[in-house]
Amino acid sequence: MEPSDEALCQRAAKRDEAAFELLVERYQGRAYRLAWSILRNPEDARDLSQEAFIRLYESAGSFGGRAKFSTWFYRIVVNLCLDQKRKRRWWRPWGGDEGDDQGESFLERQPAPVTDPVDKLGRDRTMKDLWAAVDRLAPRQRAAVVLQVQEEMATYEIAEVLKCSEATVRVHLHRALSALRKTMKEKR
């Protein structure tokens, strides 16, 4: 039976390299996706997701188990990303077409069950427009949407990650959804 993330974190706090490596293996892709979704820059996302693991290694002893490990770790990633945005002040409300090394964003490359090529083209365009609209959201709204949609986190977990109340998360999600609806309505 695989050890829980919480147990691995306790072992990592005691400098168990194998436990730390397992946590990195389990969360490396998630940390990068989350960082990329907020920062929209592959190099910064790689750097900050690696920095998150350094922080994890250094502060594993402070994990108290009051929340799930994933919530605690995502908070580290999100805080690093938001700090990066504040420091560099490079977030642009109208975003850019930044993508990964292939020129497409992770979200644009998500497969959808399609049988008709014409339908596929329409859906691809809609998804591209939708995620372009997500790019234009404020960083905390974007983080809330990504955590809910991509990571399938509950409102209370998102609140823990973003260090705010559940009501604030609901406001972020409501405002994001309203902005996305308005943008998508204008596209039609």
- Residue 162: which CATH number? 1.10.10.10
Q: What residue numbers bound the domain in which 181 lies?
A: 112-188
Give the closest residue to 50 by CA, choosing from 80, 70, 22.
Answer: 80
Q: Is residue 120 part of a domain?
A: yes
Do 143 and 78 form a contact (C-beta atoms < 8 A)? Answer: yes
Provide CB contacts within 8 A for 91, sequence distance 6+: 85, 139
Residues 130 and 183 in one domain: yes
pLDDT tens for the chain, 188 residues: list them: 899 999 999 999 999 999 999 999 999 999 999 998 888 888 999 999 999 999 999 999 999 888 899 999 999 999 999 888 887 764 444 444 444 444 455 454 444 444 556 666 677 788 888 888 888 889 899 999 989 988 888 999 999 999 999 999 999 999 999 998 888 888 76
Whole-model pTM above 0.85? no
Residues 50 and 123 in one domain: no
Residues 84 and 119 in one domain: no
Q: How many domains does the chain have?
A: 2
Q: What is the pLDDT of residue 32?
A: 93
Chosen domain end from 27, 59, 91: 91
Chosen domain end from 61, 91, 121: 91
Q: Is residue 9 part of a domain?
A: yes
pLDDT tens-place string over residues 67-89: 899 999 999 999 999 888 887 76
Residues 53 and 124 in one domain: no
Q: What is the pLDDT of residue 125?
A: 80
Secondary structure letter of residue 61 according to DSSP: G
